[in-house]
A and B are shown apart, each in its own frame.
Chain A
Amino acid sequence: MKRSNLVGKIGYIIIYVIVIALGLLCLLPLWYIVAISFSKASAVQGNMVSLIPVGFNTVTYEEILTDLQYWRSFLISVVRVILAVIINTVLTVTMAYPLTKNKYQFRGRNIYMNILIFAMLFNGGMIPTFLVIKKYHLLNTIWALVLPGAVPIFNVILLMNFFLGIPKSLEEAAVLDGANPLQVLTKVYIPCSVPVLATVTLFSIVGSWNDFYSGLIYITRSKNYPLMTYIQSLTINMEDIIKNGTAADILRASKVSEQNLNAAKIVVAVIPLLLIYPLLQKYFINGIVVGSVKE
């Protein structure tokens, strides 16, 4: 009896150690970037920085303050997030509601549904999409970052499933009181699904803030880059440039290869995410559990 108690205790200690170690492991890269951003350039170049800043200073952050391109890209990202959130949320809600009706209440419902599922599962691919955006004259505009993802189809289906779980009697009562579909949606369905809407909205904020892909493909002028694409263009690998680049590329890269400055730029770019993270954590657990266990 005593022995098994001891084994149990050791087992628990091992579990605690593993869990805490995994937690610290997840913090390590971010911590490391922060440490680099506060270190002296020479210490970073010499790989002297590990987890504690060497030669603590805030020069890099002061330098960012006056970096016009950085704030330009920052602003582009902010505007794009706002546009994306408004467009995504409005379209998700307005499309999810009619789809909750059956094919007798809303003839054509199944056609819409099949088109959406098809569009979600199949796509023209990177190059045809690029050529279409180019045809629409959206290249190098902020709309190229927002409109291709205007309808997050997966979220539409997720919200539709959530709406289907709301008791029908609420809607019937509202209809008896003379509410039209738009009023039913805004007065009954939306108030009932705040947590799911919050999750979907927060995910679209994070998704557009973090996205560098659209910027990489649809924005060809570097001054129009959103923040993540801009940062990505700074941290391009030196070896690659030296091997394949022109003299001008190498010169440009050597100017931006100040690792500690780049680290500071990354830290500042992550701050907005950290600010909404508590909210995100509050809602997303509900959201993904709802999203993955349907019907």
Chain B
Amino acid sequence: MKIKKSKGKRYIASEVFYHGMMLPGMIFVVLFNLVPMFGIIMAFQDYKPAKGYFKSDFVGLKHYKYLFQIPDGFEIFRNTLVLAVGKIVFGTLMAIIFSILLNEIRQKWLKKSVQTIVYLPHFLSWVVLASAIKSLFGLDGFVNALLGTNLNFLGSNSLFQPLLIGSDVWKEFGYNSVVYLAALTAIDPGLHEAAKIDGANWWNRIFHVTLPGMRSVIILMVAMGLGNILNAGFDQVYNLYTAPVYETGDIIDTYVYRVGLNGMQYSFGTAIGLMKSAIAFVLMMTANYLAKKFTDSKIF
């Protein structure tokens, strides 16, 4: 009886400690994550900074009706989806292919050096990379000189999306290959030996041993990508786009920034942002559910 009581007391004492440890962080979460959520009310108002949340007029779904009447509304959702899906599909493929090829390299020093270089772009800001891409892909830049062409990558609506997808794949494929490489090294070499004895060539082994062995990691990474599908990359697009390519380059985030924040259309911008956040929330929950169902791990 005595022991039980003291044990209970100890729990309470340590619980006070635990609450104390959570407190500072929770204050920041409340101030910077939860309090802004109340601002969502602006999406249904004609918000005037002078009047504040309480005195601005409620207008219901006016901003959403407007969004779907103007061509921009369709365009930004389409561009966001096209860019995000393109980046996930090509980025994943490239990372898988690269990890398989890199795994074939036997010279340790070469493998290490290549890894060192391909991980680097991930750690550089789009501010830095965009400046290089602008000069490289400009009308009289290095790429056009090399190809002997006169392609307007940055200024034409047909080439801008491929440029965004391509440069993102280029920036991230090395870094993304890390998890695939880890999955590759976890595959039992005995399986490869057995397949070899059974007469399987390199391609057979890739499709029947390597890729099935990477299956759960691939599913997990794609699920994570799908959860983020509405984040088509503000940093990248903002640093590369110009007015002539708004039609194919403008994504939800850049639009909210330019029209909502800079254009001072706070309510309209918030309405779009809310729609994005709500859809993204559902997508992430779904992605987490799928990851749990099809692999042994979960995202959060």
Q: Which A residues are closer than 8 A to B by beta carbons?
A: 8, 11-12, 15-16, 18-20, 22-30, 32-33, 36, 47, 50, 90-91, 94-95, 97-99, 101, 105-109, 112, 115-117, 119-133, 136, 147-148, 150-151, 153-154, 156-157, 180-182, 185, 206, 209-213, 216-217, 228, 231-232, 235, 237, 239-240, 243-244, 259, 262-263, 266, 269-270, 273, 277, 280-281, 284-285, 288-289, 292-295
* 8 nearest CB pairs, A to B: A128-B39, A125-B273, A124-B36, A29-B132, A210-B125, A98-B18, A119-B33, A150-B28
Looking at the assembled complex, report how far the CB atom of B158 sits from the nearest CB atom of chain A, in whole angstroms. Answer: 18
Bound-state Cα–Cα, A142 to B46, Å: 31
Bound-state Cα–Cα, A143 to B127, Å: 22
On whether the beta carbons of A33 and B131 are closer than 8 Å, the reply is yes
On whether the beta carbons of B101 and A19 are closer than 8 Å, the reply is yes
Q: Which B residues are closer than 8 A to A by beta carbons?
A: 11, 14-15, 17-19, 21-22, 24-26, 28-29, 31-40, 42, 49, 98, 101-102, 104-105, 110, 113-121, 123-136, 138, 140-142, 145, 155, 170, 173-174, 178-179, 182, 202, 217, 220-221, 224, 234-235, 238-239, 242-244, 253, 256-257, 260-261, 266, 269-270, 273-274, 276-278, 280-281, 284-285, 296-298, 300
Contacts A19-B102, A128-B270, A228-B128 aside, 7 further interface pairs with beta carbons under 8 A come to A15-B101, A19-B98, A19-B114, A91-B24, A109-B18, A125-B39, A231-B128
Known: A122-B277, A150-B28. A210 touches B124 (CB 8 A): yes
Bound-state Cα–Cα, A76 to B49, Å: 30
Looking at the assembled complex, report how far the CB atom of B69 sits from the nearest CB atom of chain A, in whole angstroms. Answer: 21
Known: A181-B18, A262-B131. A240 touches B277 (CB 8 A): no
Q: Which residues of chain A are within 8 angstroms of B121 by Cβ–Cβ distance?
A: 26, 29-30
Bound-state Cα–Cα, A270 to B123, Å: 10
Report the nearest A residue to B128, measured CB to CB: A266
On whether the beta carbons of B32 and A150 are closer than 8 Å, the reply is yes
Known: A112-B22, A126-B257, A151-B25. A232 touches B119 (CB 8 A): no
Give the residue of B21, B138, B269, B276 whose beta carbon is less than 8 angstroms from that of A95: B21
Known: A151-B29, A237-B242. A26 touches B131 (CB 8 A): no
Bound-state Cα–Cα, A148 to B30, Å: 10
Q: Which residues of chain B are within 8 angstroms of A30 by Cβ–Cβ distance?
A: 120-121, 124, 128, 132
Q: Which residues of chain B are within 8 angstroms of A277 by Cβ–Cβ distance?
A: 120, 123
On whether the beta carbons of A151 and B28 are closer than 8 Å, the reply is yes
On whether the beta carbons of A288 and B40 are closer than 8 Å, the reply is no
On whether the beta carbons of B18 and A101 are closer than 8 Å, the reply is yes
Q: Which residues of chain A are within 8 angstroms of B280 by Cβ–Cβ distance?
A: 121-122
Known: A125-B276, A126-B256, A289-B182. A32 touches B21 (CB 8 A): no
Q: Which residues of chain B are within 8 angstroms of A90 by Cβ–Cβ distance?
A: 24
Q: Which residues of chain A are within 8 angstroms of B33 by Cβ–Cβ distance?
A: 119, 123-124, 151
Bound-state Cα–Cα, A289 to B183, Å: 9
Looking at the assembled complex, report how far the CB atom of A256 sits from the nearest CB atom of chain B, in whole angstroms. Answer: 12
Bound-state Cα–Cα, A79 to B132, Å: 27
On whether the beta carbons of B298 and A266 are closer than 8 Å, the reply is no
Q: Which residues of chain B are within 8 angstroms of A269 by Cβ–Cβ distance?
A: 128
On whether the beta carbons of A116 and B260 are closer than 8 Å, the reply is no
Known: A128-B42, A132-B32, A151-B28. A235 touches B131 (CB 8 A): yes
On whether the beta carbons of B261 and A26 are closer than 8 Å, the reply is no
Known: A237-B134, A288-B179. A22 touches B118 (CB 8 A): yes
On whether the beta carbons of A182 and B276 are closer than 8 Å, the reply is no
Q: Which residues of chain B are within 8 angstroms of A105 by Cβ–Cβ distance?
A: 11, 14-15
On whether the beta carbons of A127 and B127 are closer than 8 Å, the reply is no
Q: Which residues of chain A are within 8 angstroms of B24 by Cβ–Cβ distance?
A: 90-91, 94
Known: A33-B132, A125-B274. A115 touches B29 (CB 8 A): yes
Bound-state Cα–Cα, A95 to B129, Å: 35
Looking at the assembled complex, report how far the CB atom of A232 sits from the nearest CB atom of chain B, in whole angstroms. Answer: 5
Report the nearest A residue to B265, measured CB to CB: A127
Q: Which residues of chain A are within 8 angstroms of B220 by Cβ–Cβ distance?
A: 292-293
Give the residue of B11, B39, B114, B132 whose beta carbon is less than 8 angstroms from that of A32: B132
Known: A239-B242, A292-B220. A112 touches B261 (CB 8 A): no
On whether the beta carbons of B28 and A91 are closer than 8 Å, the reply is yes
Q: Which residues of chain B are within 8 angstroms of A259 by Cβ–Cβ distance?
A: 135
Q: Which residues of chain B are within 8 angstroms of A98 by Cβ–Cβ distance?
A: 17-19, 21-22
Bound-state Cα–Cα, A82 to B202, Å: 50
Q: Which residues of chain B are within 8 angstroms of A119 by Cβ–Cβ distance?
A: 29, 33-34
Known: A32-B135, A126-B253, A235-B127. A181 touches B266 (CB 8 A): no
Report the nearest A residue to B115, measured CB to CB: A281
6 pairs of residues in contact across A and B, judged by CB atoms under 8 Å:
A18-B101, A47-B140, A131-B266, A239-B244, A243-B243, A281-B116
Bound-state Cα–Cα, A270 to B47, Å: 41
On whether the beta carbons of B15 and A106 are closer than 8 Å, the reply is yes
Give the residue of A20, A97, A240 whose beta carbon is less than 8 angstroms from that of B243: A240
Known: A33-B132, A125-B276, A277-B120. A212 touches B127 (CB 8 A): yes
Give the residue of B115, B118, B179, B260 whose beta carbon is less than 8 angstroms from that of A289: B179
